[in-house]
């Protein structure tokens, strides 16, 4: 926490929705759950988070608008029918670019709605800057006199726990580029912040399953963070001091609420045809957005025990485009699809059997359930007595039912406003960052090393010349193993190294991560170089074998800090591993 912290401000940068929240230190001390968050307005919708949509001006660097405002303005540009919108940059749901990428380039580009490339760092930083400045404006409006300075704020930015080290660093750099000081910024893992916040909530703040405040030391529960893009799962144990210990490495996949949106879009294309639907999306952007906003509301209402038909209002522009493109009327075309017995047209409304609507959730719910079942095969995870469902997609009754029915012997806990829990928990985390004491390593970490060559076990292609005889290069020297419990902010045991040759005046420590438990070489499948730390050896007068450098790693926040200490003179080099090259 910043030394003069008066306030903690959190930004939840989501795949589908984003928002901000904050609380003053004196408010946290009195009631840690008293947290302010902005309301966002778009058409008929009021929400606590805004669509993660940004409009950038034609110069490719000037921010124009965000959220509902960006959607509306871009729709207006499209409706001008002069191709003016093609000069602008319009991005939506772009966070998934960072999902699952171990090797990530900080200069990576993303394409907007019309396939124009732009630096991803620019897009992310412009959004973070807007959310930061919007929050500061709101905070200072609340103050009766004076204003708060940025040095008095601790900022927290949330990221999925299943993200790679490189993706987390990318978000940190984007936040710094947006004007947040590195020393005032904390990166928080989404399931952890949700867990921290829900442990503060009384029973009456839960939809079902009771509260978590009474969880005794030794209690083990699963956090299922179901967002728009990803399902992010961790397993926590309550320790005797009330802190949390992660028991199983974070896992999950791209099975969030957007999978339902994709299934809905596929369903509409099967009715109207791909050319018609594409033209509708391009030419009538506002109607297209309204159609999916309406579905967003209905998506939350769809329940397993509700067999009523769903009614979807068809924009007149969609019907007109269909009639322009097709020689048949829409009713006749629907009768020729596989949905002939499930979908009917009444005026400007589609009437859809409940079974069809429910099937839109199948991919997301089945993938999530299958993954949780797989996790439950692990001896540690079998200790789970409760599943805490958080994230916007956890409001879905279809997902809730899928989890409850698949795991009848586990208590399911769902807080009110599940979509805000991560954001509010991030504020609490900013005030009390030591709430989590242990994490489970998602990867095996080590450094590249050269060792005396052994003809019986080493690859001849790795053989290099050393001053004292042949060496085997590219050895993966392991410090932390995948699945190993790591105490946060505690360094690993030091390991000693010396230069390869007498003439070397420095040692380069290249840090690697691997998805394998015990890789032999850094070139093995699943190994990725994260970064390199160079240590200059001050005293070269002593023989090579006496120039010992002790090396260790420390896992804290979301960064890897390495320390190299020269035994001869006590000189210490510390660095954060640069995972973006």
Distance CA 71, CA 80 (A): 15
Cβ contacts of 141 within 8 Å, gap of 6 or more: none
Using alpha carbons only, how large is the chain's radius of gyration in Å?
27
**Facing residues of 36 across strands?**
22
Range list of β-strands (E), 185-274 = 185-189, 206-208, 220-226, 231-238, 244-253
* N-terminal to C-terminal alpha carbon distance within the chain: 28
Residue length, the chain?
Answer: 581
CA distance 389 to 236: 13
What are the residues whose beta carbons fall under 8 Å from the beta carbon of 518, sequence distance 6 or more? 444, 478, 481
Sign of CA dihedral 94, 115, 269, 266: negative
The residues facing 414 across adjacent strands are 208
H or E segment and range at residue 299: helix 285-301
| Dist. CA 343–CA 339, nearest whole Å | 6
Q: Is 137 exposed, middle or buried (0-12, 13-18, 19+ CB in 10 A)?
A: exposed
Degrees to nearest 5, angle at CA 203 with 199 and 207: 100
Q: pLDDT per position in the chain (581 positions), as tens?
A: 555 789 999 999 999 999 999 999 999 999 999 999 998 987 666 778 999 999 999 999 999 999 999 999 998 898 887 888 899 999 999 988 888 666 688 899 999 988 999 999 999 999 999 999 999 998 888 776 667 888 899 999 999 988 888 899 999 999 999 999 999 999 999 999 999 999 888 766 666 666 677 788 999 999 999 999 999 999 999 999 889 999 999 999 999 999 999 999 999 999 999 999 999 998 888 899 889 988 988 888 899 998 989 999 999 999 999 988 887 888 889 999 999 999 999 888 999 999 999 999 999 999 999 999 999 999 999 999 999 999 999 999 999 999 999 999 999 999 988 999 999 999 999 999 888 899 999 999 999 999 999 999 999 999 998 878 899 999 999 999 999 999 988 999 999 988 877 777 778 889 999 999 999 999 999 999 988 888 777 666 677 777 788 999 998 666 889 998 888 778 888 888 888 86
Q: How far apart are CA 255 and CA 15, in angstroms?
A: 12
Find out whether 122 and 61 touch, Cβ atoms under 8 Å.
Answer: yes
Give yes or no for a contact between 550 and 542, defined as CB atoms under 8 angstroms apart.
Answer: no
Tell which phi-psi region holds residue 97, choosing left (phi > 0), alpha (psi between -120 and 50) or beta: alpha
β partners of residue 45: 42
Please state, in angstroms and rounded to a whole number, the distance separating the CA atoms of residues 497 and 510. 13
Structure tokens at 559: 């960064």
73 contacts 85 by C-beta, under 8 angstroms: no
Domain 441-576 carries which CATH code? 2.60.34.10
Give the DSSP letter of residue 408.
Answer: T
**Would you kindly state where each structural domain of the chain is located, as residue ranges?**
258-359, 441-576
Using CA atoms, how far apart are residues 175 and 159, in angstroms rounded to an integer? Answer: 12
Kind plus residue range of the DSSP H or E element containing 403: helix 397-406
CB 174 within 8 A of CB 121: yes
Report residue 287 as tokens. 């109607």
Element (H, E) at 258: helix 258-272
Contact present, 52 and 95 (Cβ < 8 Å): yes
Quote the pTM value: 0.88
- Neighbouring residues of 179: CB distance < 8 A, sequence distance ≥ 6: 129, 132, 150
Closest CA to 410 of 400, 397, 419: 400
Taking a C-beta distance cutoff of 8 angstroms, is the pair 470, 463 a contact? yes
Which segments within 410-455 are labelled E, that is strand? 411-415, 436-440, 444-452
Quick check: 476 and 512 in contact, CB under 8 A? yes
Using CA atoms, how far residue 548 sits from 505, 510, 568, 570, in Å, is: 12, 17, 7, 11
CA dist., res. 471 & res. 463, Å (int): 6
The answer to whether the beta carbons of residues 54 and 178 sit under 8 Å apart is no
User: How far is residue 572's CA from residue 568's CA, in Å, rounded to a whole number?
Assistant: 11
DSSP reduced 3-state for 229: coil
Distance (Å, rounded) from C-alpha 340 to C-alpha 332? 9
Q: Show Cβ contacts of residue 212 under 8 Å, excluding neighbours closer than 6 positions.
A: 198, 199, 201, 221, 386, 388, 413
Host H or E run for residue 111: strand 109-111
DSSP state of 15: S
The phi, psi pair for 56, rounded to 5°, reads -115, 140
Put the strands of the sheet holding 463-466 in their side by side order: 463-466, 469-480, 444-452, 506-514, 527-536
């Amino acid at each position: 926490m910043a030394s003069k912290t008066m306030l903690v401000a959190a930004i939840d940068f989501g795949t589908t929705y984003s928002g901000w929240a904050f609380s003053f230190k004196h408010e946290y001390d009195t009631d840690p759950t008293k947290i302010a968050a902005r309301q966002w307005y778009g058409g008929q919708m009021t929400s606590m988070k805004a669509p993660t949509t940004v409009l950038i001006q034609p110069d490719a660097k000037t921010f124009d608008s965000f959220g509902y405002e960006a959607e509306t303005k871009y729709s207006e540009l499209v409706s001008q029918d002069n191709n003016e919108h093609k000069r602008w940059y319009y991005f939506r749901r772009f966070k998934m670019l960072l999902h699952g990428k171990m090797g990530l380039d900080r200069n990576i580009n993303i394409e907007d709605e019309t396939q124009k490339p732009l630096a991803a760092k620019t897009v992310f930083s412009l959004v973070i800057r807007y959310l930061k400045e919007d929050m500061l404006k709101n905070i200072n409006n609340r103050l009766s006199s004076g204003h708060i300075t940025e040095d008095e704020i601790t900022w927290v930015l949330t990221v999925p726990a299943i993200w790679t080290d490189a993706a987390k660093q990318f978000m940190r750099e984007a936040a710094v580029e947006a004007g947040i000081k590195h020393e005032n910024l904390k990166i928080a893992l989404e399931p952890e912040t949700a867990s921290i916040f829900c442990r503060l909530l009384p029973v009456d703040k839960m939809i079902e399953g009771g509260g978590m405040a009474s969880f005794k030391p030794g209690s083990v529960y699963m956090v299922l963070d179901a967002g728009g893009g990803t399902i992010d799962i961790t397993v926590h144990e309550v320790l005797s001091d009330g802190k949390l210990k992660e028991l199983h490495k974070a896992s999950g996949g791209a099975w969030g609420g957007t999978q339902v949106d994709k299934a809905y879009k596929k369903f509409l294309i099967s009715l109207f045809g791909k050319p018609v639907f594409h033209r509708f999306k391009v030419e009538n952007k506002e109607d297209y957005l309204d159609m999916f906003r309406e579905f967003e509301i209905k998506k939350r209402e769809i329940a397993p025990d509700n067999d009523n038909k769903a009614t979807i209002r068809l924009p007149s522009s969609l019907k007109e485009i269909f009639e322009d493109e097709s020689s048949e009327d829409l009713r006749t075309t629907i009768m020729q699809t596989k949905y002939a017995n499930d979908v009917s047209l009444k005026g400007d409304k589609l009437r859809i059997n409940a079974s069809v609507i429910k099937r839109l959730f199948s991919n997301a719910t089945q993938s999530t359930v299958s993954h949780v079942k797989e996790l439950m095969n692990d001896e540690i995870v079998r200790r789970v007595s409760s599943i805490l469902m958080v994230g916007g997609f956890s409001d879905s009754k279809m997902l809730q039912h899928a989890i409850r029915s698949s795991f009848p012997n586990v208590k399911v806990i769902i807080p009110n406003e599940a979509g805000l829990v991560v954001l509010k928990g991030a504020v609490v985390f900013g005030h009390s960052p030591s709430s989590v004491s242990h994490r489970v390593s998602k990867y095996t970490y080590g450094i590249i090393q050269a060792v005396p060559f052994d003809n019986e076990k080493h690859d001849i292609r790795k053989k290099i010349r050393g001053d004292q005889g042949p060496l085997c290069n590219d050895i993966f020297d392991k410090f932390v193993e995948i699945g190993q419990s790591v105490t946060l902010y505690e360094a690993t045991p030091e390991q000693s190294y010396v230069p390869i040759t007498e003439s070397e005046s420095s040692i380069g420590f290249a840090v690697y991560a691997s998805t394998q438990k015990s890789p032999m070489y850094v070139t093995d499948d699943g190994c990725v170089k994260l970064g390199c730390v160079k240590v200059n050896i001050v005293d070269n007068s002593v023989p090579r074998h006496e120039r010992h450098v002790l090396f260790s790693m420390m896992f804290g926040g979301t960064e890897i800090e390495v320390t190299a200490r020269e035994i001869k003179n006590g000189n210490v080099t510390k660095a954060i591993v640069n995972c973006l090259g």
